[in-house]
Structure 1
Amino acid sequence: MTVSTASFNEAGILAYNDGNYAEAFQQFAAAAAAGDPAGQHLLASLYYQGHGVTQDVPKAVELFTAAAQAGFPPSLANLALMYASGDGVAQDMAQSLAYGRQAAEAGSAQSVKNRDQLLEILTPSQQQAARALAAEYAAQYGTDPH
């Protein structure tokens, strides 16, 4: 993350906390346009919630996915939950576990709990498919966005 994208994100968070969603959108959009995973994640959150923009869950999924491909743990965790419940995406438990594993391996404590709960309900073949996806994603994208 460059100093400029960090500044955009910080300004966006301050604006968001003040209820100025339009300003938060502008700041997060600038960071996201620069390819910053945190900016992509924060902008996705605005689209998901409809704060400062018209709610657009498919756009949120697109941005969460871009940040996840950079290994950004919060986006990995969000996608894991979205795929588990079919929220904005087709429900896919193997995909959910793949994202959840990456988030857990990146240090997300909640994702460790979520992953363990998924492992209890998935069939062995779903677990195997999820392990293969997680290994593929880790090899392709890594887990550290910086």
Structure 2
Amino acid sequence: MKTFTRLTTLFMAALASLAIGLSAPVAHAAYKDGLVLVRQGKWAKAIKEFKELAETGHAQSQFSLGLIYHLGRGVTKDLSKAYNLYKASALQDHPPAINNLGMMYLNGEYVEKNAAVAFIMFERASAEHAQAKDNLGRCFENGWGVEQDIEQAKNFYELAGDDGYKLGYYHLGELHEKGGGGMPPDIQEAIKWYQTAGENSFAKGYHRIGEIYEKGIGVPRDRDQAVKWYEEAAATGYDPSILKLKDLKP
């Protein structure tokens, strides 16, 4: 279910660009029909809708169809088709497609692994795409395709979160928790960013604070605090926290 939700979110993000090939209002309406079919899990019909639009040169549909083939939803996973559809969309400057091409280069999916090319892709997409900002943060944190720069990593993680990609806040918490690149761990700063993630509907942030207090990671062990933060996450339906509370509460 969580993967399905993330997939739908990515499709919704593809609405950012104007339609081409067909008249914009017609393409926009047809594309929205495709998104409705995705939400309903009617993959065959969604693929048909996106394919017809993609063949007219509609960048959003090229991206969405590429994503379907990338993840193998309703079809056999096909990285070749995913790459070529992303490329067609990226050539029209569609940020989500540019970002996903970058991820294929970063992970060596279909293409030879090349962190330098991935970094360029993320940088190109980042002005209009929050996940690309988060990916730039990861590159700067780990020195992928660019010299390691922890300050830049922190900057891009925060920008990603502020732009709606809440995993950026969580990554910022992780960075402060473990330290790196000459920056010492700072558990209180980590807790701050995990809480920020939780407050922005990323329940894993609350859950991680619960783990910190339960295990005594940089703080004294505190069962009551652990339960409090697990309850915050569980209230959103976060299953790992619900299971934790069954173990911790009498």
Query: TM-score range with shorter-chain normalisation?
Result: 0.7 to 0.9
| TM-score (norm: length of structure 2) | 0.47
The verdict on how the C-alpha distance between 1:95 and 1:19 changes in structure 2, with shifts beyond 3 A counting, is same
Of 125, 130, 140, which aligns to 1:119?
140
Q: Distance in 2 between matches of 1:36 and 1:92?
A: 28
**Which consecutive unaligned segments of at least 5 residues does structure 2 have?**
1-18, 148-250
Q: 3-state SS of the aligned residue for 2:99?
A: helix
Q: Return structure 1 stretches of 4+ with deviation > 6 angstroms.
A: none
Q: Deviations over 1:92-142 (max 9, x none)?
A: 11110111011112x2122122113313414669xxxxxxxxxxxxxxxxx
Counterpart of 1:109, as a letter, is A
Partner of 1:26: 48
Of 97, 107, 123, which aligns to 1:101?
123
Q: Deviations over 1:28-51 (max 9, x none)?
A: 001101101101001111111222
The verdict on how the C-alpha distance between 1:4 and 1:98 changes in structure 2, with shifts beyond 3 A counting, is same
Q: Distance in 2 between matches of 1:15 and 1:91?
A: 34
Q: Distance in 1 between matches of 2:28 and 2:145?
A: 42
Answer 1 or 2: higher relative contact order, Cα 8 Å, separation at least 6: 1
Q: Deviations over 1:48-98 (max 9, x none)?
A: 122232221110000011111111111111111111111222101111011
Partner of 1:6: 28
| TM-score (norm: length of structure 1) | 0.77
**Which consecutive unaligned segments of at least 5 residues does structure 1 have?**
126-146
Q: 3-state SS of the aligned residue for 1:71?
A: coil
RMSD: 1.7
Q: Distance in 2 between matches of 1:123 and 1:24?
A: 36
Q: Do 2:139 and 2:145's aligned partners in 1 also have CA atoms closer than 8 Å? A: no
Q: Do 2:119 and 2:144's aligned partners in 1 also have CA atoms closer than 8 Å? A: no
Q: Which has the higher helix share?
A: 1
Partner of 1:73: 95
